[in-house]
Chains A and B, each alone.
Chain A
């Protein structure tokens, strides 16, 4: 069975600095997607970034980028120029291609941004 592990329950970063959140996963499948979702204090989940496993190029979305290491089954999220609004829970999720109901979620990392 697939699993997703976020080994950092809590992290903090200074405003304007860079922080990296870790995520590892376990799967025997070759075609899948990986996601980072953000859950701010309002508790509405928001997609941050998405990576298709067949793409070698790391996904980027403005200040957010990933380091996708398929062989190592690692999918870390880098937040550059951290802002106060980045403070939130961040969840890593795995989904098998074509089978969205199989999203497997990590337990989340709580990110604090210090002014």
Chain B
């Protein structure tokens, strides 16, 4: 079945360490997104990519980095510059801006990052 796979599901990090969250999709979607979710808050956009080798900052990009070398993959690196990285991270994708399903996001199951 097509979908989005995020790994790991749970991740623990010591302060000062960079960590990378994986996001892989087999939906042949063009656009991919990373969201951060904190208790009591809605989803906040970190980065998004509408095409391979291109990505844009979202609303809270500081302390994060991404790459989009393949259509299927959009890994997120949480760097040591991110002051409060403990959160739930959601990856999503959509088929693009011109197809009929363009505005519907498909989500992965999420990754929970805890800084020790």
Contact = CB atoms under 8 A, between A and B. Distances in A.
Interface stretch (A11-19, A75-83, A97-105): A97-105
Contacts of A95: 103
B97 A50 contact: no
In the complex, which range does the number of interface residues on chain A fall in? 20 to 34
Given A101-B45, A101-B58, A107-B42, A42 B103 contact: no
| Chain B interface residue number, banded | 20 to 34
Interface in A34-53: 35, 37, 42-47, 50
B74 interface: no
Given A44-B110, A95-B103, A101 B56 contact: yes
Given A37-B105, A95-B103, A101-B48, 20 more contacts: A33-B103, A42-B109, A43-B88, A44-B110, A45-B90, A50-B104, A91-B42, A91-B43, A97-B103, A98-B97, A100-B94, A100-B97, A100-B102, A100-B103, A101-B31, A101-B45, A103-B43, A103-B45, A106-B42, A107-B41
B109 A47 contact: no
Contacts of A98: 97, 102
B43 A101 contact: no
5 contacts: A44-B107, A44-B109, A44-B110, A45-B105, A103-B105
B2 interface: no
Interface of A: 4, 33, 35, 37, 42-47, 50, 91, 95, 97-101, 103, 105-108
A105 B105 CA distance: 13
A43 B43 CA distance: 12
Nearest to B49: A101
A105 B33 CA distance: 14
Given A44-B107, A45-B90, A95-B103, A100 B43 contact: no
Nearest to B96: A100
Given A43-B110, A45-B90, A47-B104, A99 B97 contact: yes
